[in-house]
Copies of this chain bind each other. A is one copy, B any other.
Amino acid sequence: MNRKITSMDVAAKAGVSQSAVSRVFTPGSSVSEKMARKVRDAAEELGYRPNVLARSLITGSSRIIGLVVAYLDNPFYADALQKLSEALDQEGYHLLVFMAGNTQGDVDHVIESLMDYQVDGIITASINLSGELAERCARAGIPVVCFNRSVIGEGLSAISSANRAGGAKIAAFLAAGGHQRCAHISGWQGSSTGRERAEGFAEGLSEAGLEVHAQIDGMFDRDTAMNAAQTLMQMSEPPDAIFVGNDHMAMAVMDHLRFVMGLSVPNAVSVVGYDDVPMAAWPSYDLTTLRQPARRMVDATVQEILTRITTPDAPVRRIEIDGPLLVRGSARLPKEAP
């Protein structure tokens, strides 16, 4: 209702100039102890706080980071969002959230809006960025960091887990468990994440003298993954192990195998996931999976975006973070060495 309190109001009340007030609220400025106290008192009394928007108009820094994300029903991303927000808060930045499907027009539109807000940086999660768009951001001087998804072409930093190595680890584990027919319900093959895990899995199997028994794209979608599981198990030679491209789908697959098809996991078929979302540890699933260390990925993402903001021509980095295989009960174990 009543007008906004401005630095001028505080200046008047404290009997000083507006610049003085500004300086008191700008860390690193030269102000005397006495002045600082006078101003702080007046500000306190009036309930003054600097206007971030007006400030950013001058400094050119809005302290807003745009986050573009496709799914939030996958708890891995919900968790990442929470951790990102907390980590950035620590540094005085905050997240402006945009949901985007993975269609090109959608993403384009979102990035445009994002730039309208003069964001200091952009983090994309589970999003494919066109090279052209990346180019525009670069020209506008806005750093972009891809979380858990890399992008075609150069110019963007990307943080992901070591997907290829992870896929290979899983392959080795299944092979050691004596599985003969290892199938893969992959993550969306239009994503680097989905492709790399599949490639790593194939390489790992071939290293063990096996090959991928069958592979179907699960599109990161529960229903699609369930259908894939159905198809796989109806093959003339059904698999004895299925590596599913992420936990979200893996749990759907387990549900389908157990409750629709009446198959025992892991006795009839082993299931392994990827991500280690919290639910994977719940006893109903007890899912063997490869952990993506969300905490470390988030920390790396935050650090990367901050350096790119403060040092615009820092080199673009691609960081892969290694994660351990968490052996639980959804896949047959390797035999102990005798």
Contact for A95 among B96, B258, B278, CB less than 8 A: B96
Q: In the assembled complex, which residues on chain B have CB atoms less than 8 Å from the CB atom of A113?
A: 94
A15 contacts B by Cβ under 8 Å: no
Of A35-43, A81-89, A178-186, the stretch lying at the interface with chain B is: A81-89
Copies of this protein chain in the complex: 2
Chain A, residues 70-109, CB within 8 Å of chain B (1/0): the string is 0011010011011001100100001111110000000000
Of A49-57, A161-169, A314-322, the stretch lying at the interface with chain B is: A49-57
For the complex, what is the distance from the CA of A282 to the CA of B97, rounded to whole Å? 29
Contact for A284 among B86, B96, B141, B284, CB less than 8 A: B284
Most B-side CB within 10 Å, residue of A47, A99, A139, A258: A99
A296 contacts B by Cβ under 8 Å: no
Q: In the assembled complex, which residues on chain B have CB atoms less than 8 Å from the CB atom of A82?
A: 72-73, 99
Chain A, residues 209-237, CB within 8 Å of chain B (1/0): the string is 00000000000000000000000000000
Chain B nearest Cβ from A313, distance in angstroms = 9
Pair A112/B49 contact, Cβ less than 8 Å: yes
Pair A94/B94 contact, Cβ less than 8 Å: no
Of A115-123, A145-153, A187-195, A268-276, the stretch lying at the interface with chain B is: A115-123
For the complex, what is the distance from the CA of A52 to the CA of B115, rounded to whole Å? 9
User: Which residues from 261 to 293 on chain A have a C-beta closer than 8 Å to any C-beta of chain B?
Assistant: 278-279, 282-285
What are 6 sample pairs from A and B whose C-beta atoms fall under 8 A apart? A4-B140, A51-B116, A52-B117, A52-B118, A53-B117, A73-B82
